[in-house]
A = this chain, B = another copy of it.
Amino acid sequence: MIVGVIGGGQLARMMIPPAVSLGIELRVLAENANESAAVAVTAVGDFREAETVVRFARGVDVVTFDHEHVPQEVIQAVVAAGVAVYPKPEALLYAQDKLLMRERLGNLGLPMPDWARVTSVAELESFLLEHDGRAVLKAPRGGYDGRGVRIVSSAAEAEGWLATEGELLAEELVGFRRELAQSVARRPSGEIALWPVVESIQRNGVCVEVIAPAPGAAGKLADLAADITVTIAEQLDVVGVLAVELFETTDDRLLVNELAMRPHNTGHWSIDGSTTSQFEQHLRAVLDLPLGATGCRDQWAVMVNVLGGPNSGSLSDRYSLALLDQPTVKFHSYGKESRPGRKVGHVTAGGDDLDDVVYRARAASAFFGQST
């Protein structure tokens, strides 16, 4: 069983432990040999070059992804070379292009913020007029962690950007109570396994904390999140892990915000908090192996991202203090140099008392020095 991963970031890195456990050979194509997933890097090259990627893909059982930036034509070349790729390019497309995603989910009748494709200042002005003069503008392709997203209150603010991009996705500014995320894994043969819906706390467009399961979400809300996510997984024929980010609105609706077709920050809690982590499950899913149980190991799990900051010094300097202070918290380093705002790791705490679990996770994270 050999899995090839395109991209050497922390998602590829976090696939290493379950690959070791399951006896899966992991091969990673990275842009540099010293990336986060360095231990498993077997090829260095540009994921935008079909020749490089096809060469990498030869001899693996399945190709999957650390990120969604691999061009469609490159993925198609791998498929044409006879190597299985999951998620398939036809599915991944909807995680790569937010406009196509909105169109497709709209056709499926799934609940979303109001949205429009805008290609001109006039169209944006029209959208603003219909939405209280404010809109969330998104680049259809290439954004992540809040990059490629702006809130505007006049078309003039986006004129240059619109000219550069050619088209933008405009969305209503949703009045939401909180953000939720629902992850699922799906095999080519159709088997599906869902983790509980979680609450995701964002700051400056970056996920900083996740509570699993989402407090108070059991029952109707959880069922709705699951229904939406299973519909997307099945209708888009997603294989591997799919994470759906959702708004829980102030008027009690769930709206689809974003999709990711890979292990996702909102699922990192599952490494320590679920019987089967999203990284193990992703490997099982893309290899079409039976999926593992997705129950919670504790009543609550709380994950807090560790962000690099100007005052944090080196990670290892603060390691001892954090481990000493929080012996029950699990640490996950991404093996990256610390830069302000960069995700350099995460911590997860678990237990029966949510206040205590949140406290321990935040306390452990705080030793790493950064509060955004």
| Contacting residues, chain B, for A295 (C-beta < 8 A) | 328
- A126 CB to nearest chain B CB (Å): 51
The chain B residue sitting closest to A324, CB to CB, is B290
| Contacting residues, chain B, for A324 (C-beta < 8 A) | 290
| Contacting residues, chain B, for A14 (C-beta < 8 A) | 20
In the complex with contacts A17-B21, A20-B13, A289-B1 CB distance below 8 A: no
- A28 CB to nearest chain B CB (Å): 11
CA distance A89 to B24 in the complex (A): 35
Q: Is the CB of B292 within 8 A of A323?
A: yes
CA distance A295 to B327 in the complex (A): 11
A72-80, A234-242, A312-320: which lies at the B interface? A312-320
Q: Is the CB of B21 within 8 A of A330?
A: yes
* Pick from B289, B297, B334: contact of A320, CB under 8 Å: B289
CA distance A298 to B293 in the complex (A): 15
* Pick from B22, B39, B319: contact of A39, CB under 8 Å: B39
CA distance A372 to B199 in the complex (A): 48
CA distance A146 to B289 in the complex (A): 36
Q: Is the CB of A23 within 8 A of B315?
A: yes
- A363 CB to nearest chain B CB (Å): 14
For residues 290 through 306 of chain A, which have their beta carbon under 8 Å from a beta carbon of chain B?
290-293, 295, 297-298
* Pick from B275, B291, B327: contact of A290, CB under 8 Å: B327
The reply to whether the CB of A30 lies closer than 8 angstroms to some CB of chain B is no
In the complex with contacts A16-B39, A297-B297, A345-B23, A289-B327 CB distance below 8 A: no
The reply to whether the CB of A40 lies closer than 8 angstroms to some CB of chain B is yes
The reply to whether the CB of A335 lies closer than 8 angstroms to some CB of chain B is yes
The reply to whether the CB of A333 lies closer than 8 angstroms to some CB of chain B is yes
| Contacting residues, chain B, for A16 (C-beta < 8 A) | 16-17, 20, 39
A residues lining the B interface (CB < 8 Å): 1, 13-14, 16-17, 20-23, 39-40, 275-276, 284, 289-293, 295, 297-298, 315-316, 319-320, 323-324, 327-328, 330-335, 345
Write 10 A-B pairs (CB below 8 A) sorted by A numbering: A16-B16, A16-B20, A16-B39, A17-B17, A17-B20, A21-B331, A21-B332, A23-B316, A23-B333, A290-B324
